[in-house]
Amino acid sequence: MNIVVKNLPESVNAYYLEILFTKCGEVDYTKVVYDRVTGEHKGVGFVEMPDDKEAEKAIEELNGKEINGQTIEVEKARPRKVNIWS
C-alpha cells in the first residue's frame, strides 16, 4: 500500500520516515518530496508497505503524531491524476 505523509518538518528525510514506519511493519520504499529547482523541502513524503494490514496499522498509529513540533497527517495515497492534454 502506498501511504502519503503530509505536514512533515524540514528535519525529516526518507531515512527518518523508514525508521518511523518500520516500527509498524516492513517498508519497501520511502521518499520525501523536494522542489526540483530550489531543493526546498515540500513537507510531503511517501511510504510503500507491502502488507496492507501493517500499512493500515501504521496509518492508524501515526496519523496525528507530533514530530519536532508539527502534527503529521498520514493517509492512504490516491492514484495520481494524469492530464493527457498537457
Helix (H) or strand (E) holding 62: helix 52-62
pLDDT tens digits along 6-24 = 999 999 999 999 999 999 9
- Assigned C-alpha cell, 53: 494490514
Query: Is 3.40.50.11810 the CATH classification of the domain at 2-76?
Result: no
CB 49 within 8 A of CB 21: yes
- Assigned C-alpha cell, 63: 496519523
Cα separation of 37 and 25, whole Å? 34
- Assigned C-alpha cell, 85: 492534454
pLDDT tens digits along 16-51 = 999 999 999 999 999 999 999 999 999 999 999 999
Domain ranges of the chain: 2-76
pTM (predicted TM-score): 0.88
**Sequential DSSP letters for 10-55:** TT--HHHHHHHHHTTS---EEEEEE-TTT--EEEEEEEE-S-HHHH
